[in-house]
Structure 1
Amino acid sequence: MKKSSVVPAASVAVLLLAGAVGCGKGDAQSPEMSPAAAVAKAAENADAITSFRYRMSGTVPEQGKVRGEAAMSVKPLAMSMKMTVEGGTDSGEMEIRLVDKALYLGGGAEAAKEMDGKSWIKFDMSGADGGQGGDQMGAGQARKNPAADSTFLDGSKDVKKVGTETVEGVRTTHYAGTVTLADLKASLSGKDQATREKREKSIDEYDELGVDNFTMDLWIDGEQHTRQFRMRGDADKGPLDMTITFLDVNKPVTVVAPPAKDVADLEEMMKGAEG
């Protein structure tokens, strides 16, 4: 199989699986609540999310501009994402589905040309390490709850209120601040084990990218849920500038595996190569 945009784009998509938070319909955040308290409350609410749908756009290191929409269920774990990458060496459209402990990467007609008519690649995710080399491509990171990224501003020492703005028809209060990885790690002190583990995984991901500090904007609605956030930082291989907008939360998410006739199983492909 020739190298195509199918596999490299997977790591981009997984990276973009970040920041699932609530989407309330209330008025703007109460001005009586301090910026630090408002951000902390939104982070607390994010930890309770069980499913969500969101839109993303921005720039990812090495890949250029990206945009897409995704939906994810935390329990049971399932995810679907459609995205477009522009301006990088792996430009093109990509679809990902995570269901029944298997990760499917869809490359459409272009992938089918390279895989005897198969437009999807299947990775077994049942193993501890993601299986079949999935971790090497970033697929293993799809296991984590992406709500953790939206909580990063809770570790800021200079969070401030910017003003009130409307996001997706909902009045919100806009907060902003800077945060370092050291601040994030320190903010985990006193958190319960489940919360700490979720956030640690997300922190480690950015540590591997070489992003030491962020500028972050957070838009919180009147129910103290984050409606949108923007994260900016300089990674080892280029700038990161991503905006996540949340469309709904805690609603049913159904993900169906692609038709078997359209799927190339990586395990079978590897056995064939060995033979």
Structure 2
Amino acid sequence: MRRASSIRIGTLTVAGILAGTVLVGCGNDGDADAKKDGSTAKGSPGAQEQGTRAVRSAYERTAEQDTARVALRVRTSAEGKSATASGRGTIDLDDGDSVMTLTTQGQRIEQRVVDQVLYQKAPEGQTPGDKPWIRIDLRKVAEQQGAAGQSMNDPAQSAAFAKAIDDKDVRKRGTATIDGVRTTRYSVAVDVAELPNGATLRRQIGPTLPMDVWLDDDGRIRRQQVDMTVKAPSGKASSSPQQVKVRTLMDFSDFGTDVEAEAPPSGQVTDMTGKALKQDRAAN
């Protein structure tokens, strides 16, 4: 059961991202396809302003597509060890509902997020009791996490992130072809202090939130990336929380695709919200 617990913790991080908005994602995997055009320097003020406007408007332009197909990879590392989870599925860009198949630690996990509630179906024998699904209320987790949970998981906060981006925070990095689509890459450093509850959020994740976004010719996000350092339980009763680095890469395609996210029958679900809250309190 120890391994099953670690699977749930890792994929909860993924769910937290998907249950939010088209906001964050990370990794450097897009670099191999990028064609450096010499624009990593600051460039002219006009070019910087144009890039800032493009990044700010990307959230709205992407959300206007309503739904998308998503592919992601999440890498977590702590104390010299690392683990990678990958997934594919569909997501509602407005309310965060999603249907995913995740692969982590050699296991395949079916995952759904419906009305800010996470459902996961792990391989047989790796869920508590005799029910195939577990349930975690992401709203309650976000409430306990305070500023970080609310800001990262609430779709309504996406505009606040856009407003926290200034000209000095955006750099054009070049172009890349992603799934046959030409994109322009921008690096962004969001000033955490400018976000809602910024002082608390700064203590939780640091002064800046570094992101890279790849925008297509219609200004929509096709790829996004971010690195975060978060606190997590150490697994030892006498130890303080460990610092876990989380790197996530998300690709978006097939805008407008159908998303059929439905909660499993209640008789097949075990509620694990209390355990998730207890683990989060232990980390803080």
User: Which one of 150, 154, 158 corresponds to residue 148 of structure 1?
Assistant: 158
Report if the CA contact (8 A) 1:163-1:174 is conserved.
yes
SS in 1 for 2:54: helix
TM-score, structure 1 normalization: 0.64
Residues 50 and 165 of structure 1: is their aligned pair in 2 closer, same or farther, counting only changes over 3 Å? Answer: same
* Aligned residue type for 2:75: T
Question: What is residue 79 of structure 1 aligned with on the other side?
Answer: 98
Identity of aligned residues (%): 24
Matches of residues 27-176 of structure 1 in structure 2 within 5 Å? 34-60=50-76, 62=78, 64-73=83-92, 78-86=97-105, 92-99=107-114, 103-112=118-127, 114-116=128-130, 118-123=131-136, 130=140, 144-145=154-155, 148=158, 151=162, 154-155=165-166, 157-176=168-187
2:210 to 189, 206, 215: 215
Distance 1:207 1:53 in 2: 32
**Structure 1: distance between partners of 2:188 and 2:163:** 10
Alpha carbons of 1:92 and 1:70: their partners in 2 closer, same or farther (altered >3 Å)?
Answer: same
Q: Per-residue deviation at 1:231?
A: 1.2
Quick one: structure 1 residues 98 and 208, their matched pair in 2 at CA, closer, same or farther if it must change by over 3 Å? farther
CA 262–111 in structure 1, closer or farther in 2 if over 3 Å, else same: farther
1:252 aligns with 2:258: yes
- Give the whole-Å Cα distance in 2 for the aligned partners of 1:80 and 1:107: 14
CA apart distance, 1:60: 3.2
Total equivalences in the alignment: 231
Partners of 2:77 and 2:171 in 1: CA distance: 28
Mapped to 2, the partners of 1:75 and 1:161 lie a distance apart of: 27
1:230 maps onto 2:202 in alignment: no
Query: RMSD of aligned C-alpha atoms?
Result: 4.2
Cα pair distance change 1:262/1:48, threshold 3 Å: same
